[in-house]
Amino acid sequence: MKTILVPTDFSAAAANAAEYAVHLSKDLKATVILLHVYHFPTSVSEVPIMVVTPEELEKQNNALLKKEAARIKKKTGVGVKYIAKPGLAVDEIIEEGKKATLTVMGMRGAGKVGEALLGSITTTTLRKIQNPLLVVPDKANYKKPEVIVFATDYDPKINLQTIDTLKEFRNIFHSKIYVVNVKQKKESVAVKEVFSDTLENKLNDTEHVYYFAEKEDLAEGINEFAKGHHADIIAIIPHHYNLMERLFHKSISRKMAFHSSIPLLALPDL
């Protein structure tokens, strides 16, 4: 990995994610780039108001980023680069994410004013981004990912090259990987076995253990297993199949994204 992109809105959750990314970058020997996406102000009033020019707005946001970069360097000893761009947050994060090898975003815990917006931006980005995305809860402290729980529903359409990120983590951190089956009992055992054999071939040089969970509440089951095995990261492949819908549906979304203290690694299935 060479570049870690960290979108920021200057919130406490984003600051924590940036610090997590910097610590991770030391082990990955990667460059960290802060990204702040801002909007041009629009007036809906008939009363004339003074409008900030695009140049002034860019200067203001770059000043905020410079201040945040200085704070991070003072706290971690690591310098970071930064970019300020106008536009829509999700679109610009995805576009800049194409140039990075990993994107790291913060997620607030439940119960705070304004969390819905950040939660929406983070989860929407998670669904659409085309490179690995690590979602860091605001209470999570950096720890080398020595234990990774990879939750999968064994969809045979998955492009298994997507788990190369897991293998890279394994090579760098010597991580132990738990492959957790999240298929329901009523679903095809044959499909599970076929995919399991294929996955086994992909992971044949990586230490891993299979675990077949049958808990009805998917998010609760994954979190329970992850905490019980002291996981440092939970990994999922959210694209092109229904695991994402099961994880981010009504109360499950809050249990998985807002209430978990374990970072969530989303791997693109492209």
Q: Is the pLDDT of residue 224 over 60?
A: yes
Q: Is 265 helix (H, G, I), strand (E, B) or coil?
A: strand
**Tokens at 81, concatenated:** 């680069």
Q: With 0-12 CB in 10 A as exposed, 13-18 as middle and 19+ as buried, what is 25?
A: buried
**Tokens at 113, concatenated:** 């004013």
Q: Would you identify the CATH topology of the domain 147-266?
A: Rossmann fold (3.40.50)
Q: Is the pLDDT of residue 37 over 50?
A: yes
The conformation of residue 161, written as its DSSP 8-state character, comes to: G
Q: What percent of the chain has pLDDT over 70?
A: 66
The pTM (predicted TM-score) of the whole model is 0.82
Mean model confidence pLDDT for the chain: 78
Q: Is the pLDDT of residue 105 over 70?
A: yes
> At a CB cut-off of 8 Å and minimum separation 6, what does 213 contact?
180, 181, 182, 221, 222, 225
**Sole residue written with tokens 């791997």:** 267
Domain-wise residue ranges, the chain? 3-137, 147-266
Q: Is the pLDDT of residue 60 over 60?
A: yes
Tell me, yes or no, if the two domains 3-137 and 147-266 fold the same way: yes
User: What is 3-137's CATH superfamily?
Assistant: HUPs (3.40.50.620)
